[in-house]
Structure 1
Amino acid sequence: MEQDNNSSQTEPQEVFTPIPQARGASGGVRWLGLGWDLIKERFWMWIGVIIIYFIVSLIISTILGFIPLIGPIISPFITTVLAAGVVAIAHQQYETQRIDVDTLFFGFYNKRYLSLMGAYGISFLILLAGIIIAILVSSAAMMDIIYAINSDYPDEIIADMMVDNASGFTLFFVIIAIFGALSTAAYWFVPALVLVNGYKAFPAVKASLAAVKINLSGGFFFFILLFFILAISLIPFGLGLLITIPLSYTAMYGSYRDIFYHHNIGSQGNNGGIGGNSTISLNKTAESNIGKLVS
């Protein structure tokens, strides 16, 4: 990626790096902050984008729902490509300060949908493997409870059996939680890496896992904070979701931008931003090598 040699010494120069960088626990807060900066600059546009996204997703799911067996399986893969388009819009706004709604379909018309679907499939298989392992490990406890219920055992006996087998149920949910986290980690950075940087499915998943591995504390705080924000947004009849849902996408893009870009100050070649101490500016970004997306 070329740098602008005429940039002022105070202008951040952002350069994509395939090697993810550790940003520490404070990264989680910073990613949400960047996501909110994007939302507030184009507030009504983002609400419009998320409404269009849900309408199109609903139409796709409804149409495919009429296809027996295959339709419900294909539907999540199609809507995954559409969801990746929301991340592409965040990138477009970051680079150009504008939003084009048709960028929502960028994953379809740039022929990168196969990589997105492949990576989503890998993520799904990780979760499926966790479910199978959890069932196998906890099958004895579950079978005892199911047999007792089907045999019309008294409620007191069933309750005692559930207490006696509590460790088995706990192990079941722990395994599901671990593999669910791995599944999320495998796909976290995939949409941006595929649509912005042209990654294929396996390299994107590998890079995503590597980025999460060295940013566990930041990712933990990020999801804890995002969970509370989403919970609070449900209080006023769920209307807050019109803000917090796009925020979840823009904040995820913010994490990608922070972890996969060097932030060098001016033309001095200062690499201090690698340590995570620099601040990303929305209005002063270096030229991107992804001209097809922002043009």
Structure 2
Amino acid sequence: MTDQNVVNPYSAPTSQVETVNVSGDAVFCPAKKLTAGQGNRIVADAWNIYKVSPFKWTLMSVIMFVIMIVLSMIPIIGSIFGSLFYTPLFAGLLIAARDVEKGEALKFGHLFSAIKANGRGVFGLAFVMSIIGLVNLLVGFMFMGSGTFMAAYSGYMGQEVDPATLDINPVGMIIGFIIMMVGTLVLVMMSWFATPLIALQSVGVFQALGMSFKASLKNWLSLTVYGLIMLFWLFVATIPVGLGLFIMIPLMSITVYTGYRKIFTM
């Protein structure tokens, strides 16, 4: 008997199990670089998923926003609860998009499916993104000054403030605004694909944030085309008294899935 065929049962697996989708039918891969034209396909593919059950998609999106509004009305901690629950509910829509693409029926239970599938991951992402967003605001307001902060806070609380009583530094405001805008862009790039990576592939939170940022940077051209197309349709959606937004809001959610699908799977 030779030693060649002896396998250590405690050794690490040698197959690339991380490249297989949890559903077993889509092969996960490192971020690919899409062509500019494929930015249009992200929207087209999302429409094909939406039109299977348009009423349910719209109703689910409305329910999600109603839940967010109700949570935000909770005294003191409402805004915190709202920010923490948005990502898990949004992740449920991505799981729904995957299942509909596979031919399964869209169910209202999909809205909470990410919490059941990977609650720790989606809530962890929500928490980390909230902290990063808060830091971005604080750094921006450090340059803008206390006067700008008080004006913004008073406006948020519905109070009127006399601008003459505020100590506002114009140069600091510009620098702070630029910092906030750049920080927000980085935040979007980090979170855009992090949600589907966590909800659909169970990738770790910080790993997903890094992968999302790199993929967004790598595909800046196709994502810019996608963004311009979505801006055009958002404008069109607002023309009939904003009724088109009932289509665009769920469609935008689905495009996050179709963008992830094109970039991270074979």
Bin of the TM-score, shorter chain as denominator length: 0.7 to 0.9
Residues 141-195 of structure 1: per-residue CA shift (max 9 Å, x gap): 969x9997118xxxxxx9xx98xx3x54333222111100111111111221112
Spell out structure 1 runs of 4+ moving beyond 4 A: 140-143, 145-148
Cα distance in 2, alignment partners of residues 136 and 121 from structure 1:
23
What residue number does 1:47 align with?
58
What residue number does 2:68 align with?
57
Equivalent residue pairs, number: 234
Contact 2:115 2:122 in 1 (8 A): no
SS of structure 1 residue aligned to 2:27? strand
Calculate the TM-score normalised by the size of structure 1. Answer: 0.70
Residues 234-291 of structure 1: per-residue CA shift (max 9 Å, x gap): 22121111100011011111100000011xxxxxxxxxxxxxxxxxxxxxxxxxxxxx
SS of structure 1 residue aligned to 2:241? coil
Contact 1:116 1:190 in 2 (8 A): no
Cα distance in 1, alignment partners of residues 143 and 191 from structure 2:
26
Report whether the alignment pairs 1:34 with 2:38. no
What residue number does 1:128 align with?
134
Residues 62-104 of structure 1: per-residue CA shift (max 9 Å, x gap): 4xx04xx334312221232112111111111112242122111
CA RMSD of superposed structures (Å): 2.9
SS of structure 2 residue aligned to 1:98? coil
Cα distance in 2, alignment partners of residues 234 and 142 from structure 1:
32
Question: What is the percent sequence identity of the aligned residues?
Answer: 22
Contact 1:53 1:82 in 2 (8 A): yes
Cα distance in 2, alignment partners of residues 249 and 215 from structure 1:
19
Cα distance in 2, alignment partners of residues 73 and 187 from structure 1:
18
Question: Of the two structures, which has the highest relative contact order with CA contacts closer than 8 Å and spacing of 6 or more?
Answer: 1
Cα distance in 1, alignment partners of residues 180 and 224 from structure 2:
17
Greater shift after overlay, 187-196 or 221-230? Answer: 221-230
What residue number does 2:79 align with?
72
Calculate the TM-score normalised by the size of structure 2. Answer: 0.77
Report whether the alignment pairs 1:25 with 2:29. no
What residue number does 1:16 align with?
28
Instruction: List aligned pairs for 1:103-118, cutoff 5 A.
Output: 103-110=110-117, 112-118=118-124
Unaligned 5+ residue runs, structure 1?
3-12, 152-157, 263-295
Query: Which amino acid in structure 2 is aligned with residue 216 of structure 1?
Result: W
Contact 2:133 2:187 in 1 (8 A): yes
Query: Which amino acid in structure 1 is aligned with residue 164 of structure 2?
Result: I
Query: Which amino acid in structure 2 is aligned with residue 48 of structure 1?
Result: L
Unaligned 5+ residue runs, structure 2?
1-19, 152-160
